[in-house]
Every structure is written in C-alpha cells, then in structure tokens.
Amino acid sequence: MPPSAASLSQLPASRMPPTSAPDQDFSERGRVLAMADTHDERTAPSFSLRVGSVELLGEQFSVVKAGDSDTVRAAGFGNPSSLAYSVFGRQSELLDVQALGDTDPALAAVRAYDDGDPALLETIDIHQDGTELRRAMWRAARLVEPGTLASYGDVAAIAGNPRAARAAASACGACLVGLFVPVHRIVRASGKLAGHAADIAVRQALIDHERAMGMGR
C-alpha cells in the first residue's frame, strides 16, 4: 500500500537502511539522460511561464516550464508560484502565466509515478543553471534506481569525481527539479537522509512509496 495521504510535513522521518553499492552498468542510461540535459545555461528564459499541478501522495505537486519549451525548470511539492520564484526571482511576478494542459508529458510522468511506474520521469527534459560539475552530479543522481539508495560519494563516483562527495551533496541540496532528479534517494554515508525535518519527511515518504509499489529491481 502507498503511504498515507496525510500531510507529508507530518510524516515521521525514520532511519534509513545502509546504502548499497550503485549499479555499475550506467553507460546506456547515462547516455540517454545526458541527452535530456543538454541546454545551454546561458540561454535567456522566455518571458512567459507555463505551470501545472497534479496530486502526488495526496499532496499538490507542481511543475514549471518557460515559454513554449517542454523543458522542466522547477518541480516540487507546493505552490507553482513559489517554485517559479526560486528559478526566476522577482521577474517571475511579471511574467505571463499559462496553465499546462492535462496531457502535458511532465504532469503525466508524475501521475504515472504516483501509480507505481517511474519510467516516464527519465524521459522528461530538464534544465537547471549551474557549473558543469554540479550538472554532472544532477545527471548522476538521475541514474539511481527507484526504491534504492546511493550515498553522496556514490553519486560523485558515478559522475567521475569520486572525491567530490561534498559537491554532490551541494548539488542535491540546490536541486530545483525534485523527482525528475531523484535527490530523495541520495543519503549520507551513514545511510541517513540529510536536510531539514520537513524535507526528510518528504524524501522518506517518496522512498516508502517506491518500495511499497515495488519500483526498481
């Protein structure tokens, strides 16, 4: 059974089991996901926003896109205006806003995940501003299988920088496209989730959902 639909902020945070070694066969999935994150971070955003929300674990989950692009610029639990502000700042308050259609691919992917199928999340194009190192960490995090855990050190190793665990942790903390980059699966070396209590509760709920729905291998 999936987790309760009670407010995620009220879900208890529990200890996570020790992290297991990540799957070493990342070549094909890495190639596909790298293609889904090839946008030039210097490209100026369009002066319009498209936003939409769906229900995930009984809560509002929102997606923000810019202009006519299908690229997800922000995603997470809560109000889409707050997510837009996190990317575009005060400029977001001046932009025209349009609603994403019910058939939008990103929203459809979140619905499928809620129903137990995470595969579509990997097909969604995303973009976040950041250094190449940080972007490499985000790409590596997308390779962590549903229902499994990886440490920050694991993510750094997948990204080709095994000594850059702190950079991996920083990238996960700065991620604005949660779920599409599954930072909820990334833990400390001790196996514990990092972050504020509310963030930990959300991440734990997503992990519990994936395991309850039999996602992953």
**Each residue of 41-91: pLDDT tens digit?**
434 444 699 999 999 999 999 999 998 899 999 999 999 999 999 999 988
- Taking only the tens place, the pLDDT of each residue in 84-122 is 999 999 888 888 999 999 899 999 999 999 999 999 999
pLDDT at 93: 87
Who has greater pLDDT, 36 or 159? 159
pLDDT at residue 209 greater than cutoff 50: yes
Rounded-to-integer distance, Cα 63 and Cα 41, Å: 19
* The dihedral sign for the CA sequence 32, 179, 133, 22: negative
The pLDDT score that the predictor gives to residue 173 is 95
Q: Long-range contacts: 79-87, Cβ < 8 Å, 24+?
A: 80/51, 80/52, 80/53, 81/51, 83/51, 83/176, 84/49, 84/51, 86/176, 87/45, 87/176
pLDDT tens, 129-170? 999 999 999 999 999 999 999 999 999 999 999 999 999 999
The secondary structure of 73-85 as a DSSP string is: EEEEES-HHHHHH
- Smallest CA-to-CA distance from 64 within 53, 51, 54 is with 51
Residue 178 confidence (pLDDT) above 60 = yes
- What ranges do the domains of the chain cover? 48-123
In what helix (H) or strand (E) does residue 198 lie, and over which residues does it extend? helix 197-212
